[in-house]
Structure 1
């Protein structure tokens, strides 16, 4: 795509409304973990919205430190992301990656046989030199690999970018996140959904572990040994620490009941063939309270001994272990994690100002 063509397309980039899914946003939570709750986006053109302004004669004008050529390439990255219906957070990840790899300049060549905005390599199967020098093609291949990464929206920018790029300098992308966020915002008109979202944390310091409704309840008549509640949510949703605490356990627990052997947690479990919690995390909280989060899709993002804040992302929802479908099994214990200490999470979470949604029960 030529600069002239990119400029024409860039003029058609409309403001997009970015909405945080789930709880209303009231309090920013910090934390040293991989990420906090990320915004999901829906594409629509609000009433009265206008394009970000026509390009100046002779090409796109400069924005801040970025000249017309760089801004045109940035516009191409956004347009491709919009066309592929990638959430706006993905545009920021792509933009920061291109800033690090090429300074948003469509390079003819680089180290080894790397080419273009993302310094992709023909020898690594990214495409031909001619294809990779086309910003539209290069951005498309980046987005396709990014969105194929399980849980990419729940990862910090540098981790998500590295999953795609496999760079020798995996931590280099993070420094570009502020610049990428500003440039995406300037070109698209979006002001939310570009970075981490805020999470509603109650005055007692608690939040919902996942934005979902309660399915199977605590120790029901048909499941008297069910020591928690099942929160029904699809695969890949961020799972949050319900309150601040210390990770006391993180492991895979999935056993093939036919053989007694390890079933594995990096695949779906089975309600009849698999026993165990799958990938799970336990957190010790103040006052002797313990919470457990089961059936995560991939290895959790936290480690034993790590402090987490309320709303910090622990991992992503899935269906590992003894599971009939994607959901989060959530437990609350008063004391050590045993059957005797389990309590019903529904009244407990209501008592700490973070009630679970029971609308579909």
Structure 2
């Protein structure tokens, strides 16, 4: 979709995990055509904000100046991330692959091109540090079977080899990030990749014009349209389609710790991102009764049948007022977009809807709640079905 077909407006979106707040746009994106000019790969704060604000077809991002730190990642590490993304663009890998690749390199090398003292150090190959894992070298800590030392120490070569193997994994785009990365890396710590997913998405957004907000539709990267089983490159999706009614902590409802999305009874509710179920049960009302199998009413109290899911980055999503017992159980790993229950009106409810919350820092209490509307919009999964 071109800028002529879609009016532009900008929004302010909070970025978690130490990444500075940045402007986002509702424009549709074709992330695969965003280009990097690696000979001048650095950027000041205003250039970075402008790069993230642009999310449009055929837009080229020219980076100049100094790259600011994002969280704990400095200029050298951000340059390596840009190389990884650029290779993915050249190979026409969808933006979800860029997020997976960047997150993998974050785990393997902290985005530093690591050498090995016994393998590469004695050969005079430039490096950004020395690793300690046998003969593993480079951004992805690839071993001898991936190529020569010189090849594996080339960020461009290492990224290309990663993508080549990723593309051979059947269904990789719908896999949890940690599983997709593990299919390529075959790591001794297969669950370690997941914790980097959120910051990897923020890096991709910053360097590639919001590409982590895109979803692949008919081989095109379309921005801010992830819902139900359509998963954004960030790994998030809106749990149901529908407009937001009652908002987050409004003047009339200051204790309302989420938003209400209207929907018919028995509408499928989808997990907003891959994660592990913390809670799936009937929440008692103000009198301590567990009467979730009948419709509730205002003032009854409680979430009714509800589910809490823990996601990468310490985020928790909550889904309240289901019509019947959830389809998931505590401890279960669920994929983004997986059906976890059905819309109902149990608990403190005046009619069928989904009450949806997002919490930070693994804090399920009121104190951990944040407004899910800007949070989900920044991840390409707006709660009202459009940006």
Question: TM-score with structure 2 length normalisation?
Answer: 0.43
Computing the radius of gyration from Cα coordinates, the structure with the larger value is 1
Higher relative contact order structure (alpha carbons within 8 Å, sequence separation ≥ 6): 1
Question: TM-score with structure 1 length normalisation?
Answer: 0.45
